């Protein structure tokens, strides 16, 4: 005869674990998608910031665009505070091609399989 035993049975614990696994299977892909989408939005924003900095530089220098990223980051006050043309930022590498009459900025995903389809 059992005396007031308290606790969970193995079946109850297995049901709880199965429910948690199901919730995780639903939530984790959504979280990964949100992160990829946020990184994509950040890359677009960074390209806009680079373009705006180059245009602002050109406006202040008789229509001549910067020849190098150092012209944007080394000015007083700086047009940009970060040199995005070197290194990887939030899963993207940035290409910067600049001359006195032109500029081109590109963002390339480090892991292309994680780029959202638009």
Instruction: Determine how many CB atoms are found less than 10 A away from the CB of residue 59.
Output: 10
Whether the pLDDT of residue 85 is over 70: the answer is yes
DSSP H/E element including 93: strand 92-99
Instruction: Determine how many CB atoms are found less than 10 A away from the CB of residue 92.
Output: 21
Q: What are 116's two structure tokens?
A: 């959202």
Q: Average pLDDT in the 99-104 region?
A: 88
Domain parsing of the chain, residue ranges: 10-114
115 or 63, greater pLDDT: 63
Does residue 63 sit in helix, strand or coil? coil
Q: Give residue 114's pLDDT.
A: 59
């Amino acid at each position: 005869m059992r005396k007031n035993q308290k606790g969970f049975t193995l079946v109850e614990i297995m049901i709880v674990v199965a429910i948690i696994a199901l919730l995780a299977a639903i939530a984790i892909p959504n979280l990964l998608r949100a992160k990829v989408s946020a990184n994509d939005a950040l890359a677009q924003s960074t390209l806009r910031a680079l373009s705006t900095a180059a245009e602002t530089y050109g406006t202040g220098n008789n229509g001549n665009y910067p020849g190098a990223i150092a012209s944007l980051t080394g000015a007083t006050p700086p047009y940009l505070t970060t040199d995005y043309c070197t290194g990887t930022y939030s899963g993207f590498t940035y290409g910067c091609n600049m001359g006195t009459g032109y500029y081109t900025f590109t963002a390339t995903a480090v892991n292309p399989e994680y780029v959202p389809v638009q």
